[in-house]
Chains A and B, each alone.
Chain A
Amino acid sequence: MSLKLSLHTKPDVPLEADVICPDKLNGVNETAIAALTVFHGNDQTALGDFFTVKGQCDGEIQLEGDLANVKHLGSEMTIGKMIIEGDVGQHLGACMSGGEIVVEGNAHDWVAPEMTGGKITIKGNAGHLIGSAYRGSPIGMQGGEIIIHGDVKNETGNTMRGGLIAIGGNTGDFTGVNMLAGTIIVLGEMGIRNGASMKRGTIISMHHAPMIPTFSYVCTYNPTYLRMYLSYIRKLGMEVSDEQINGNYKRWIGDAIELNKGEILLYANE
């Protein structure tokens, strides 16, 4: 039987609940879980003050309610699965290295910063700085997958060095800024200044996007590896057409002020 946590009291200020994570809750009984420490603003309180706890965690946690103000869910997770029925707050799956998180609603900013493995699926929209480095850190997301079906805001994949970010909708500005390696696929439109100061890595979009002057056009071609990526995300339920899988892409390289080894691929048959 899986563990079910239902939010009964909505927090007025952000609730820091990094204890909600399969690693920390596996095999723990209901009363002990309800007594675990969470921070409501700067007040130390018990998990039970906000959540009704039911069942026992056997690797899976289900969360219900409006969790838009609940932060750090699944922080540093390594195993198991978390299913979140509603919206979720900032820092979801921060630094996670394994396991899976599924969000049925929307997510806030900072989804899976500095993630090294595992998978996050968000059915709705998400905020800024998906799979990014924390401010000041030299490396962001290093592995794993972040699949977001809706739109996201600015700085998606800031300083990312590995893994896959797939966005079903549009992204804001600075997609893949400072990127070191890895792949970002955007099925919708991107904002401005994409790939600014990227060293390596690939950003793919199905629409035309404004390019900064330090990127140069190389060729139009049909990369084989992209078919595998696109077929894979189609299997995950994203809307990718046969034309896009088989079509041609304009290849731009940059950022020339850095290594100039990054690439942005824009679907050419739009």
Chain B
Amino acid sequence: MLIKLSGGTVYDPVHGINGEKRDIYLQDGYITRKPASSIKIDKTYDLNGKIIMAGAIDIHTHIGGGKVNIARMMLPEDHRADLVSKTKLTRSGCGHAAPSTLTAGYRYAEMGYTACFEPAMLPSNARQAHMEMADTPMVDKGAYAMLGSDDFFLRMLTAKKDREAISDYVGWIINATQAIAIKVVNPGGINAFKFNQRKLDLDEQNEHYGVSPREIIKSLARAVRELGVPHPLHLHGCNLGVPGNMHTTLDTIRAVEGMPLHLTHVQFHSYGTEGDRKFSSGAAEIAEAVNSNPNISIDVGQVLFGQTVTASGDTMRQYAGHWHAHPKKWVIMDIECDAGCGVVPFKYRDKNFVNALQWAIGLELFLLINDPWRIFLTTDHPNGAPFTSYPHLIRLLMDRSFRNDMLATINKGAAAASILSSIDREYTLYEIATMTRAAPARSLGLKNRGHLGGGAIADITVYNNIKNKEKMFEKPLYVFKNGEEIVKNGKIVKVVTGGTHTLRPDYDKSIEKSLKKYFDRYMTVKLGNFKIDDDEIVEHGNGNIIVQPCT
């Protein structure tokens, strides 16, 4: 079937198309070049005056895995307050901060997203994460395997194993857990927490293994590069949320010595210690460092006000944050002693100095970092805010007067401490298209996604051109997934299952020998059962496996 999207205004940063009127042709799930005039067009959408972008890609959103499920179990009030009835097409669900899997998939699609990436999949818990993602309809999924605090890896570092051996282990993990990238959370710190260390700076040593976060970051970043994983090491750094952690973040940028590195939810890592309250914005310094180091990419982890839940693998920092839990309950847990997770419900208040400044710091980062190819739009769902607040965030970025109006309503001290009111920058649609489509696709190595050129998968979002960008982005006119119309006027018209993006880097299979010994001795599962088959993922309802090429 040949479909023509006629006369829309196209934003496609990969091909440098900035708001030009173009026709787009879809055939069999792909975007094709203009067909010969003799070929019959089956369906034409008249999109005059409408805005066309590729389907949006969320590079960092917690939609599957143990911690999300704990958040769901822990927050019955979150579910009661937000019930979603079933319709003829969609199934019922619930939840605002931690929505049920189906609801998360529907809501993403209704916002114009066609792919979402779960950033913290514990290898021991990968099966659960994949099953939850398989249960999340509409969008394509993928996950980053979390390393850096696991016993096997830390033992390798302590034993000064050579870099090939470490690369083999990382490659094995990506293959075994069907991941697409590697994440490290509070490098070595989650493990140190279990040996009663309550903080771990970049050059402090994990007392048990005698390894510092700097060594862990370097060795993983190197392994990721040597394996040809397209996405750089996805780093949730040390000292999350600690005033003064901007220096740790700057040191971390220097520590990788030019190797590619992705710093995630950097807003939580950009705090200074100036001012009466010893809490200030480090956004300007961080932005300068990011601007001058082309090997660094970031996502922001913007805070937006309201009730949410923080779910993170960083047990050390989550434990430190549990005093601020709202409602007052929290969970810290561990799986196979190989990392863990902490879930702490949280309410960000606009009249609270710290929360209001966090909000401002996130926006400062967005506006001070120049290259939209290296900064991605995230709220670290659900940690900074649920993903449903993206349209609001986009309006904050694109509309200076709206941003200043909001700034006037927050805590006065925080507003005064921020340079936000002096920043004039407004994001353009082209830049939004870059940071939510083209850049994440390029960063993750999704070759035929995130753009509208011939041969690309036909994941396309069409928006009405409305002045209020929040209204525009929360309700797309059409969303196409693999060439099929799945959303019309912000409502689902067809339910589809997405695929799972994975990577198959090469590694020396002989690593399994030492792994098997290790598994037999220490783990509760056997090596063979640890690995996840393609069939398992497909069997549980996920459409297909999409193997992305290594570089």
Contacts and interface: CB of A to CB of B under 8 A. Distances in A.
A35 to B, nearest CB: 19
Contact of A135 (B73, B86, B328): B73
Contacts of B86: 42
A42 B329 CA distance: 32
B328 A138 contact: yes
Interface residues of B, number: 9
A-side interface mostly: loop
Interface string A181-206: 00000000000000000000000000
Contacts of B327: 138
Nearest to A133: B76
B79 to A, nearest CB: 9
A134 B78 CA distance: 13
B73 A138 contact: no
A23 to B, nearest CB: 18
B328 A136 contact: no
Contacts of A135: 73, 76
A31 interface: no
B77 interface: yes
Contacts of B328: 138
B284 interface: no
A76 to B, nearest CB: 11
Q: Which of A42, A136, A138 has the most CB of B within 10 A?
A: A136
A134 B79 CA distance: 12
B74 interface: yes
Contacts of B329: 136, 138
Contacts of A136: 73-76, 329
A42 B86 CA distance: 10
Nearest to A134: B76
Q: Which of A42, A134, A135, A137 has the most CB of B within 10 A?
A: A137
A138 B86 CA distance: 29
Contacts of A42: 86
A134 B94 CA distance: 16
A134 B77 CA distance: 10
Interface in A128-143: 134-138
Nearest to A95: B80
A147 to B, nearest CB: 27
Interface string A112-156: 000000000000000000000011111000000000000000000
Contacts of A137: 76-77
Interface string A12-35: 000000000000000000000000
Contacts of A138: 327-329
Contacts of A134: 76
Interface string B301-328: 0000000000000000000000000011
A135 B329 CA distance: 12
B102 to A, nearest CB: 13
A31 B77 CA distance: 35
A135 B74 CA distance: 7
A189 B328 CA distance: 34
A42 B327 CA distance: 32
A120 B400 CA distance: 59
B381 to A, nearest CB: 20
A214 B389 CA distance: 47
Nearest to B92: A42
A56 B324 CA distance: 51
Interface string B62-79: 000000000001111100
A134 B75 CA distance: 10
Q: Which of B73, B76, B329 has the most CB of A within 10 A?
A: B76
Q: Which of A42, A135, A138 has the most CB of B within 10 A?
A: A138
B321 to A, nearest CB: 18
A96 B327 CA distance: 22
11 contacts: A42-B86, A134-B76, A135-B73, A135-B76, A136-B75, A136-B76, A136-B329, A137-B76, A138-B327, A138-B328, A138-B329
Interface of B: 73-77, 86, 327-329
* Closest 4 A/B residue pairs (Cβ): A136-B76, A136-B74, A134-B76, A137-B76
Given A136-B74, A136-B329, A138-B329, 11 more contacts: A42-B86, A134-B76, A135-B73, A135-B76, A136-B73, A136-B75, A136-B76, A137-B76, A137-B77, A138-B327, A138-B328
